[in-house]
Structure 1
Amino acid sequence: MAEARYTILLEGLEVTMGMGIHDHERAAPQRVAVTVAMDCAYPAMPKDRIDAVVDYDFLREGIQKLAAERHFELQEVFCEQVAELAMTDSRVVGVRVRSVKLDVYPDARVGCEISRSR
């Protein structure tokens, strides 16, 4: 059988974290929504067991840890670190990461999106 490809999604994970360059952003953590799409490749269609696929729990927990560990000046750097985390599993052949600051403006959200692949 040919290689099996799937996209594993983690959508709208909301974390409260330090992010931004402005004084008001440094004064208090803010809400950030994170969405990740991991393109996964398996040698064949996976069996119906969690150990046969990429488990998104490691990604969710890793993002929460990143958000708690430090203040990020730029969304770009945060997205890069999330992408690196996702790619630690060799079955992830590509990843798209989006972060969105939810409360910067009353009438808009601001974000960053990156794509990385092997």
Structure 2
Amino acid sequence: MAERARFTTILEGLELVMGLGIHAEELAAPQRVVVSVRMEVEYAAPPSEDRIEAVLDYDFLREGIRALVAERHFHLQETLCEAIAALCLADERVSRVTVRSMKPDIYRDAAVGCEIVRSRA
């Protein structure tokens, strides 16, 4: 039996302006958040045709993240990362996902963030 084809699909540095945080200034106005996602994607075989229909189209991820952040304020980066991971794992071809969110403007001298790794059960 042939081994399945594995690829890593990456969305790096998606810059969003969104509601995120628990402090008064974070609740009062949206802030810049940078999101990166790495999805380990498995196919029955490597794509034999050079067509987007043969693979996972990462447009769904970018659009899905934008929709998630448009519909609510997230208090925690952890819950934002979990929501994005769930979006990725909804596609059966995704076996594992790493999600990172960063708030680059909280401190003058450092960005703060969260990173999670989730796998299909």
Normalized against structure 2, the TM-score is what?
A: 0.95
Q: Distance in 2 between matches of 1:25 and 1:59?
A: 25
% identical equivalent positions:
62
Report how far residue 68 of structure 1 moved: 1.0
Structure 1 runs of 4+ aligned residues shifted over 2 Å read none
Paired residues in the alignment total: 118
What are the Cα deviations for residues 13-67 of structure 1, in whole angstroms up to 9, with x where unaligned? 0000000000010010000000000000001111321111111000000101111
Aligned to 1:113: 115
SS of 2:85's equivalent in the other structure is helix
Q: Structure 2 regions of 5+ residues with no counterpart? A: none
Aligned to 1:32: 33
Q: Structure 1 regions of 5+ residues with no counterpart? A: none
Aligned to 2:45: 44
Q: CA RMSD in A?
A: 0.7
SS of 1:112's equivalent in the other structure is strand
Normalized against structure 1, the TM-score is what?
A: 0.98
Q: Distance in 2 between matches of 1:32 and 1:102?
A: 7
Q: Distance in 2 between matches of 1:35 and 1:2?
A: 28
Structure 1 segment 76-91 matched on structure 2, within 5 A: 76-91=78-93
Report how far residue 2 of structure 1 moved: 2.1
Q: Distance in 2 between matches of 1:58 and 1:93?
A: 16
Are residues 1:22 and 2:23 paired? yes
Are residues 1:94 and 2:89 paired? no
